Amino acid sequence: MRVCDLTGKSAMVGNNVSFSNKKTKRRFYPNLQNKKFFIPEENRWIHLKVCAKAIKTINKKGITAVLNEFVKNGKI
């Protein structure tokens, strides 16, 4: 399933709009990447399917802080 493991982002539904303004359904998928992160406190690697925004947040705050934040908010 195309859902971010941390943020919960999933596909949205919208329309393709042609030049004649004819509309057909389409899906907007999140930019998901399979990434491996090292958790130094547990001395192990974890594999996550995360969106690009979550990767940027992890680079800024660190994997431990992000995981703790998402657990605290009940998203995991």
Mean pLDDT of the chain: 93
CA atoms within 13 A on the CB side of 29: 7
pLDDT band at residue 71 under the 50/70/90 scheme = confident
Q: Tell me: the pLDDT tens digits for 12-34?
A: 999 999 999 999 999 999 999 99
Q: Is pLDDT at 9 greater than 70 in this prediction?
A: yes
Give how far Cα 28 sits from Cα of 11, 15, 37, 61, Å.
5, 9, 26, 28
Taking the domains of the chain in order of start, what are their residue ranges? 12-72
Give me the CATH code for the 12-72 domain, please: 2.30.170.40
